[in-house]
Amino acid sequence: MLAHLSHWPLDPPLVAVALAALLYARGMNRRAGRRRRARAEAGLFAAGLGALVLALTPPLTSLAEELFWAHMSQHVLILAVAPPLILLGRPWSTIWRALPLRARRTTTHGLVHGSWATPLRGAAPRLTAPPVALVLFCGVLVAWHIPPLYDATLRSSTLHLLEHALFLATGFLFWSQLIDSAPFRSSLDSRRRAIYAALAMAAGSAIGLALTLATAPLYAGYAQLPSRPGEISALADQHLAAGIMWVPGSIPFAAAFIVFVYRWLDETARDGRRVAPPLVEGS
């Protein structure tokens, strides 16, 4: 058993996942409220962390070195699966509650009054503005799939780590505009949240379409491999990656779109009933 543990990849992202899990569990023990809801949120949070672990550990990481579709599966998990599940778990207030009271007071004072936090206080409102978050999310998604940059991540583990970090960071920025997670709340109404989800889904679909229509492999890092597991061709591997981006990768965005369209229509109907004049007999 110790031999297996010695090969477990204890890299910084997984250490961060483990730390988040420990703090969340500690915060849950101090949390008041309905137990059923708390258990559901804890399950969603655990599922989100599980998606990150799946994306960042073997066998997916090993397959991603030889198969484009496995690498694309990592991207979908990091961008479209883990962030919404984690946010649905209401992590910020729960993890904050896990910290000692003195640490919370010191951190709060530093964030509000500390000179070291001045750049953060200035940048936070801009980065979390819905248009900026959407542009950053779509821009990072598209940029890292440009062939020269994508191939560079296959040659450099540092660049690959940066790619995944940006995916996760912009994923949280994007999904926080759709999912309210205390103490943060999006300024978008249901109609604009539906549009927001549709625009992001369109960006991912555009990448999937480009990969599908390509008549030759776009990424030299995969095209130049002498062989691939399953003996599939580089072009077939690329088409599988396109299918993963296009279908499973679109499901979270499509689900959000449907939910918010339904809420928008329901809110419109309720507003209409409130303003409708009462019927008068004989009129």
Please list the rounded mean pLDDT of every run of 10 residues in the chain (283 residues).
Answer: 45 87 88 76 96 94 94 97 96 89 83 79 83 96 96 94 95 96 90 97 94 94 91 95 94 97 90 60 47
Residue 3 pLDDT = 40
Domain ranges of the chain: 10-102+124-270
Q: Which two tokens stand for residue 268?
A: 């419109």
**Confidence (pTM):** 0.88
Residue 117 pLDDT = 74
Alpha-carbon span 73 to 55, nearest angstrom: 8
Residue 4 pLDDT = 41
Residue 116 pLDDT = 77
Dihedral-angle region of residue 257 (phi above 0 means left; psi in -120 to 50 means alpha; beta otherwise): alpha
Residue 196 pLDDT = 97
Alpha-carbon span 87 to 81, nearest angstrom: 11
Residues 6+ apart with CB under 8 A from 200: 134, 137, 138, 174, 253
Residue 275 pLDDT = 58
Residues 6+ apart with CB under 8 A from 113: none
Residue 123 pLDDT = 79
